[in-house]
């Protein structure tokens, strides 16, 4: 006896798999964007720390002061 649901079942499984792949690709793209943003923030923070260190070396009385 032939199972008439088999081809339809495979099609649904393929659709579900494609949806999962698309969601995974979107999640991966978002993750890559967040990593890139974090790297950029880290780079900016390093520059700020280096600048602050240079300012303290130039004028030690600047240590602990806030800009503003």
- Position 11 in a domain: no
- Per-residue confidence (pLDDT) for residue 65, from 0 to 100: 61
- Position 35 in a domain: yes
- Position 48 in a domain: yes
- Position 8 in a domain: no
Q: How far is CA 15 from CA 28, 34, 58, 67, 68, in A?
A: 20, 29, 64, 57, 57
- Tokens for 26? 């979107």
- Per-residue confidence (pLDDT) for residue 57, from 0 to 100: 85
| Domain total of the chain | 1
- Per-residue confidence (pLDDT) for residue 8, from 0 to 100: 55
- Per-residue confidence (pLDDT) for residue 1, from 0 to 100: 45
- Position 51 in a domain: yes
Structural domain containing residue 31: 26-57
- Per-residue confidence (pLDDT) for residue 60, from 0 to 100: 73
- Per-residue confidence (pLDDT) for residue 32, from 0 to 100: 98
Which stretches of the chain score pLDDT less than 70?
A: 1-10, 62-68
- Position 36 in a domain: yes
- Position 46 in a domain: yes
- Position 34 in a domain: yes
């Amino acid at each position: 006896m032939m199972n008439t649901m088999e081809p339809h079942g495979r099609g649904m499984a393929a659709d579900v798999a494609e949806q999962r792949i698309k969601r995974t690709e979107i999640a991966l793209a978002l993750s890559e964007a967040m990593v890139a943003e974090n790297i950029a923030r880290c780079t900016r923070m390093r520059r700020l720390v280096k600048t602050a260190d240079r300012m303290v070396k130039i004028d030690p009385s600047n240590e602990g002061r806030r800009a503003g």
